[in-house]
Every structure is written in C-alpha cells, then in structure tokens.
Amino acid sequence: MDGAEGADAIAWEMVDDFDQVGLAATTEAKEIYDGAKSSIATAQSVGIAISVASAVIGLAIGFYLAWTIAKGVSGAADAARKISQGDVNCSVDVKGTDEIGQLGTSFNEMTVYMQDHVQAASAVAEGNLAVQVKSRGDQDALGNALLSMVTNLREIVGQVRTQATAALKSSTSLGEASDQMAS
C-alpha cells in the first residue's frame, strides 16, 4: 500500500468515525428532545390540573361566601318584613362581625328601640302619663313624637284638672248661694 492509498484509507476511516459520531450525536439529541418534549407535556398537564383545581376551589369559596351573605341578608329581610307588618318581637341571628353581622346587630338594636317605644305607647294608652319616654337625639323622630305626645297629654290633663277644679268651686259657690236664697 503506498502513501496515497494509505491516506485515502485513513480519510475514509475518519469519515466513518465522523458519521458514527454524528449518528451518536443525532441519536443523543433526539433522546434529549424527546425527554424535553415529555417534560413539557407533563408540565402542561400539571399546569392544567393546577388551573382546574384552582378554579374549582375558587368557585367553592365563591359559592360559600355567596351562601353566607345570602343567609345573613335573608335573615335581615325577614326581620324587616315582620317589622313592616308591626311585629317588633323579632330578631336576627347574628354570626360574625363582618358587614352582614353588623347589619344583624343593627336590626336587633332597632327592634329593642321599637319595643321600648311600643311599651311606652301602650302605657300611655292605658292612661299612665307617668311613663318615661327617652329621646335618642334630634334625629329620633319616633322618640321625639312620643315624648311630645306624653308632654302635651300631661298639659291637657293638667288644664282639664284645673278647669274641673274651677268648675267644682263655681258649682259649690252656686250651691251655697242657692241654699242662702232658699232660706
């Protein structure tokens, strides 16, 4: 084998070696690509599962909040309906200190206020003008009206009493005068 043929053989041997290295690199690259593709698919599946789970949890929390709000507002609405029909012996079941709880507490305070004024009005209706009506301020329309009514009734009763006493004195004087004329 001469030098040129030896060089050709070495060159072909090198080409075969490069082909094998290239084939090995291509095979390894394909395995890496397939592994990456599988990892991406897994990550997408996990992302979708997390998204679906988050949506389900969010919906569950939303429904729970809506239910608790509706329940609290429904209780307040029932109390308001009863009060509008004149039933002041009602209350709202208060659970919590959030806005709905504050609404229930306010309704309960309002019914106690109305019950106090119903008791005062009932006492006046039974003739008890000694009842103590308390106003809660300038904005207390019902309390101020009841207070004014009791005060005015006391004045009217006082005037009637004064006039009845004067009429009794006049009647007594006329009776005495009549007796003197007859004797």
pLDDT by residue for the chain (183 residues), tens digit each?
Answer: 566 777 777 777 777 777 777 777 788 888 888 888 888 999 999 999 999 999 999 999 999 989 888 888 888 899 899 999 999 999 888 888 888 889 889 989 999 999 999 999 999 999 998 998 888 899 999 999 999 999 999 999 999 999 989 888 888 887 777 777 776
Distance CA 141, CA 114 (A): 12
pLDDT of residue 45: 93
Q: How far is CA 87 from the centre of its chain?
A: 23
pLDDT of residue 47: 94
Q: How far is CA 104 from the centre of its chain?
A: 8
- Whole-Å CA distances, 23 to 16, 26, 31, 53, 157: 10, 5, 12, 44, 119
pLDDT of residue 56: 97
pLDDT of residue 149: 92
pLDDT of residue 128: 92
Distance CA 59, CA 10 (A): 72
For tokens 């939303």, what's the residue? 62
**3-class DSSP state for residue 183?**
coil
pLDDT of residue 98: 87
Q: 3-84 vs 99-125: helix axis angle to the nearest 10?
A: 0
Nearest to 109 by CA among 148, 76, 86: 76
Strands (E), the chain: none
pLDDT of residue 1: 54
Amino acid at 30: K
pLDDT of residue 9: 74
Amino acid at 129: L
Structural tokens at position 39: 């990892």
pLDDT of residue 76: 87
Long-range contacts of 112-115 (CB under 8 A, 24+ apart): 114/83, 114/88, 114/142, 115/88, 115/89
Amino acid at 152: N
Other Cβ atoms closer than 10 A to 174: 10
pLDDT of residue 22: 72
